[in-house]
């Protein structure tokens, strides 16, 4: 019998990689201390149209919510506009970049792929994949993770956490569901 748990998308957001296409497409405007976006701020494009709102700021990345996507954008990609934070992308361009990054990321998560942690330690292999999740076999414990949790590296797939962090996250879910074939997401 195995134990399975599901990490919420919000929990994995902190561990997932920022889409490279969003980084490169938005690069070009300099960030000043005054242009640093704050949570709740409306973000505009260079023509003055709304791109979205700042959902969170974590380190050097601001997550912009467009209504369709939440996209991590490096702070260096923001400029200062008359109305507030400025990006060199429209809402549609940002949504297209996010969709492309998601499609590329999802295509790289395949059955049998090796999964590494953030330090290069092997976590396990992908047992199965559906349109939203991958089931990772960690030597007897199966973990269901959203496709957005994976980043593609030259030597396979990577999670933005260590193996010990993933194992620690699995323990509360596994303990709460001892004896069952599945587990509910931790809150």
Domain holding 148: CATH number? Answer: 2.30.30.240
| The pLDDT value given to residue 65 | 94
User: Do 140 and 72 belong together in one domain?
Assistant: no
> Could you tell me if 172 and 35 are in contact, meaning their C-beta atoms sit under 8 angstroms apart?
no
User: Do 100 and 126 belong together in one domain?
Assistant: no
Residue 96 included in any domain: yes
Mean pLDDT across the chain: 75
Task: Give the pLDDT band of residue 12 (cuts 50, 70, 90).
Answer: very low
User: Do 96 and 170 belong together in one domain?
Assistant: no
User: Do 126 and 90 belong together in one domain?
Assistant: no
Residue 97 to residue 23: CA distance in whole angstroms: 9
Q: What angle do CA 159, 164, 169 make, to 5 degrees?
A: 80
User: Do 62 and 120 belong together in one domain?
Assistant: no
Strands (E), the chain: 4-6, 42-44, 50-58, 61-65, 70-74, 79-80, 85-86, 114-116, 122-129, 133-138, 141-146, 150-153, 156-159
Please tell me which of 18-22, 126-130, 170-174 the model is most confident about, judged by mean pLDDT: 126-130
Q: Is the pLDDT of residue 19 over 90?
A: no
User: Do 33 and 86 belong together in one domain?
Assistant: yes
Supply the range of the domain harboring residue 171: 4-15+110-176
List b or e across 72-91, with b for residues whose CB sees 16 or more CB atoms inside 10 angstroms: bbbebbbbbbeebbbbebbb
Q: What is the DSSP letter of 17?
A: P
Task: Give the pLDDT band of residue 172 (cuts 50, 70, 90).
Answer: low
From 59, 76, 106, give the residue that closes a domain: 106
Residue 180 to residue 72: CA distance in whole angstroms: 36
For 53-111, write each residue's pLDDT tens digit: 999 998 888 999 999 988 889 999 999 999 999 999 999 999 998 888 777 776 788 89
User: Do 87 and 129 belong together in one domain?
Assistant: no
DSSP count for the chain of H helices, then E strands: 4, 13
What's the whole-number mean pLDDT along residues 149-167? 83
Number of compact structural domains in the chain: 2
Residue 181 included in any domain: no
Query: In the Cβ-directed half-sphere of 90, how many Cα atoms lie within 13 Å?
Result: 5
């Amino acid at each position: 019998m195995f134990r399975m748990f599901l990490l919420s998308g919000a929990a994995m957001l902190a561990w997932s990689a920022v889409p490279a296409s969003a980084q490169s497409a938005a690069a070009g405007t300099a960030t000043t201390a005054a242009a640093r976006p704050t949570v709740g701020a409306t973000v505009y494009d260079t023509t003055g149209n709304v791109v979205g709102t700042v959902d969170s700021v974590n380190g050097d990345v601001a997550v912009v919510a467009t209504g369709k996507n939440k996209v991590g954008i490096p702070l260096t990609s923001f400029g200062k506009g008359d109305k507030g934070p400025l990006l060199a992308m429209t809402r549609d361009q940002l949504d297209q970049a996010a969709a492309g990054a998601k499609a590329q990321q999802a295509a790289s998560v395949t059955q049998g792929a090796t999964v590494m942690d953030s330090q290069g330690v092997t976590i396990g292999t992908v047992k199965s994949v559906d349109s939203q999740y991958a089931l990772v076999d960690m030597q007897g414990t199966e973990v269901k993770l959203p496709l957005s949790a994976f980043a593609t590296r030259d030597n396979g797939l990577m999670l933005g956490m260590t193996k010990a962090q993933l194992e620690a996250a699995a323990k509360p879910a596994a303990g709460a569901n001892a004896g069952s074939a599945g587990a509910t997401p931790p809150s």
